[in-house]
C-alpha cells in the first residue's frame, strides 16, 4: 500500500505489527469524513459541490482499479476531507480535495480478475458480494452508486431496514434506494447504471469520471448563463 500514491487516495505511511502496539499510520485528514459532514450539517450538497466530491472519489477509485486494487468497503464514512474543507454546504466547493480512505479490507485483485468471500458493509454491498459469488472491481462501482445516493440525500441507505433485511432485499428483490425527484436526469441515469444487478452492465470508473465531468461542465455553463 505504500506504493499507492494519488491525490485522491489517503496516503499509507506505515504500520506497527508488534503487539501490543498494533496500528496503521496514514496521512492525517483533519476535515473528517464526508459522512460526518453530511450528518453534522443536516442538509444536502448543492449540485456543483456534490459533483466535485463525486469526481474526486471517481479519480481515486479509477487509480486504485488501474492498479488492480479493489476497495471493497466504499461508503461516505470512508471518504475523508483535507483541512481546507468548508464549514457549510453553500461554500463546500471551496475545499481542496476529498480522498478515498480505509483500506482495512482492500485487496489486490487476483490474476483471474475475480475474488471470493464476503467483506464490506451490507448497506453498500453489491449483490454478488452478499451472495458470496466471485466478484471483481465492479463491486466497488455498485457501492459508489450508493455513496452518490448518500451525497444526494444525507441519509443512511435503507434506514428503516436492518442491514440483513437490506441485503436480502438487494439480492432477492432488486431493492435500491429511492432517488429524490429533483435529481439531475444524467445523475439519475448514472446511478441506475452503477447499481445494476449484473456487474457486467455497470460502468468502469473511467466512464463514470467522464460522465461526471461532462455533467459538471454542463452545470457550470448553465450557472454562467443564469448570471449573465
Q: Catalytic residues, which ones? A: 73
| Cβ count near 45 (within 10 Å) | 22
Termini Cα distance of the chain: 48
Collapsed DSSP state (helix, strand, coil) of residue 95: coil
**Which ranges constitute the DSSP H helices of the chain?**
34-41, 47-66, 127-130, 138-153, 163-172, 185-194, 205-227
What is the grid cell recorded at 134?
Answer: 466471485
- DSSP bridge pairs for 79: 100
Amino acid at each position: 500500500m505504500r506504493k499507492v500514491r494519488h491525490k485522491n487516495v489517503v496516503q499509507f505511511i506505515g504500520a506497527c505489527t508488534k503487539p501490543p502496539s498494533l496500528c496503521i499510520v496514514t496521512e492525517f485528514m483533519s476535515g473528517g469524513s464526508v459522512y460526518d459532514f453530511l450528518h453534522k450539517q443536516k442538509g444536502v450538497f448543492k449540485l456543483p459541490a456534490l459533483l466535485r466530491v463525486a469526481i474526486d472519489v471517481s479519480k481515486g477509485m479509477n487509480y486504485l482499479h488501474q492498479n488492480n486494487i479493489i476497495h471493497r468497503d466504499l461508503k461516505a464514512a470512508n471518504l475523508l476531507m483535507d483541512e481546507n474543507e468548508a464549514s457549510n454546504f453553500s461554500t463546500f466547493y471551496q475545499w481542496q480535495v476529498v480522498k478515498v480512505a480505509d483500506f482495512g479490507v482492500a485487496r489486490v485483485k487476483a490474476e483471474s480478475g475475480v475474488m471470493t468471500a464476503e467483506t464490506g458493509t451490507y448497506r453498500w454491498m453489491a449483490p454478488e458480494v452478499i451472495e458470496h459469488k466471485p466478484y471483481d472491481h465492479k463491486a466497488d462501482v455498485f457501492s459508489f452508486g450508493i455513496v452518490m445516493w448518500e451525497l444526494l440525500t444525507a441519509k443512511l441507505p435503507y434506514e428503516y431496514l436492518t442491514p440483513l433485511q437490506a441485503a436480502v432485499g438487494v439480492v432477492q428483490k432488486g431493492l435500491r434506494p429511492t432517488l429524490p425527484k429533483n435529481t439531475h436526469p444524467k445523475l439519475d441515469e448514472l446511478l441506475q447504471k452503477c447499481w445494476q444487478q449484473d456487474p457486467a452492465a455497470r460502468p468502469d470508473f473511467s466512464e463514470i469520471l467522464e460522465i461526471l465531468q461532462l455533467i459538471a461542465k454542463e452545470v457550470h455553463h448553465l450557472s454562467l448563463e443564469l448570471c449573465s
